[in-house]
Amino acid sequence: MEASLNNISDDIASNRTLIETIVQWTTFSIGFPLICLSIYAMYFLIRADHIAPVYVINLLIADLIQICMRPFILSGTWQFIVELIEFFGISASIGFMVCVALERYLMIAFPLWYRFRRNIKFSLIVSSIIWVFPFIQISIFYIAPTLEISFILFAVNLLIPFPLLVFFLVGTLKALSVSISVPAVEQRRIIGTLALVLGNYTVLFLPLIIQYLISGVTGQHNVEIGTIFERFSPLVDPLLYVFMRKGAKDTLAFPCFDKFMGDQEQSQVTNTMTMTDSGVEGSR
């Protein structure tokens, strides 16, 4: 009986390892080029009158840090350092998700204040502050007397943004319900951004936070369902690019494609003008 239980336990552990390996390599293979392409596209959106991508770019950089740790996690090299770097990326990602949601909320609820504060310098200062918080959280994680307390403290810190994200979404919906100056298209873009951020946190990060709490309370560290969910988070954040662009054509086109389409349009205009001039000369 004991031997059969051990075999079942070994099979479960083997299946869990196989699933983890597949998820890790799949998310790395898709996420790394996708995030790099999204960062490249977001870079061209930074203008004096359009600073929201500053936080989104930082969010994507935090995702890139997580993605780059996947091969090291699978290889088992420098395990402790790799896990700390991954925790750093997770904490930074959640911080910048809050920044994205906060800016969308301020844009609607306090438009005058947002108008006078919307500059790249202010965004960069806030971004620098957000990058400091993960170091503080990792320091707390490291100096905690036991590993269980470390998991609980880390989970509590990651849980704080949840009510903020809910508040920003609800507050934005209330402000939009009485606003008559925001176009319907802009409203959909703002609501889509907030819904995507809250949905990403709730579906993909919250299970990981619950897993940390369970590990801290029970002392069992073999539950990895939340970890598997979190692996897919970096694949969701590039979708924010859709809500950052203005217009249907810009939404689906990256800058390099925009240039290509512009060259095509210019060529078509040139051909049309040539044909028109030829027709005029023929009529003469």
pLDDT digits (tens, 9 = 90+) for 209-221: 999 898 888 877 6
Mean pLDDT (the chain, rounded): 79
Q: Which of 36-50, 92-106, 125-139, 264-278 has the lowest mean pLDDT?
A: 264-278
The pLDDT of residue 270 is 45
Distance of alpha carbon 236 from alpha carbon 197, whole angstroms: 9
Domain membership of residue 257 (yes or no) is no
Q: How far is CA 35 from CA 38, 40, 44, in A?
A: 5, 9, 15
- Give 204 or 146, the one with higher predicted confidence: 204
Domain membership of residue 270 (yes or no) is no
Alpha helices, DSSP H only, in the chain? 2-43, 53-68, 70-75, 79-109, 111-117, 120-143, 147-159, 161-178, 184-200, 206-218, 225-230, 233-236, 240-244, 248-252, 255-283
The pLDDT of residue 19 is 84
Whether 3 has a pLDDT exceeding 70, the answer reads: no
Q: How confident is the model at residue 281 (pLDDT cuts 50, 70, 90)?
A: very low
Number of domains in the chain: 1
Whether 75 has a pLDDT exceeding 60, the answer reads: yes
Domain membership of residue 53 (yes or no) is yes
pLDDT digits (tens, 9 = 90+) for 108-158: 888 888 877 777 888 889 999 999 999 888 888 778 788 888 888 888 989
Domain membership of residue 80 (yes or no) is yes
User: Are 161 and 226 contacting, i.e. CB atoms less than 8 angstroms apart?
Assistant: no
- Give 162 or 21, the one with higher predicted confidence: 162
In terms of residue numbers, what domain contains 31? 2-252
Bin 76: left if φ > 0, else alpha if -120 < ψ < 50, else beta.
Answer: left
CATH number assigned to the domain comprising residue 9: 1.20.1070.10
Whether 269 has a pLDDT exceeding 60, the answer reads: no
Look up residue 197 and give its two tokens. 């951020």
Domain membership of residue 212 (yes or no) is yes
| Residue in 164, 236, 170, 167 with CA at minimum distance from that of residue 203 | 236
**In which residue are the tokens 């209330």 written?**
174
Distance of alpha carbon 158 from alpha carbon 190, whole angstroms: 24
Domain membership of residue 86 (yes or no) is yes
Domain membership of residue 72 (yes or no) is yes
Domain membership of residue 271 (yes or no) is no
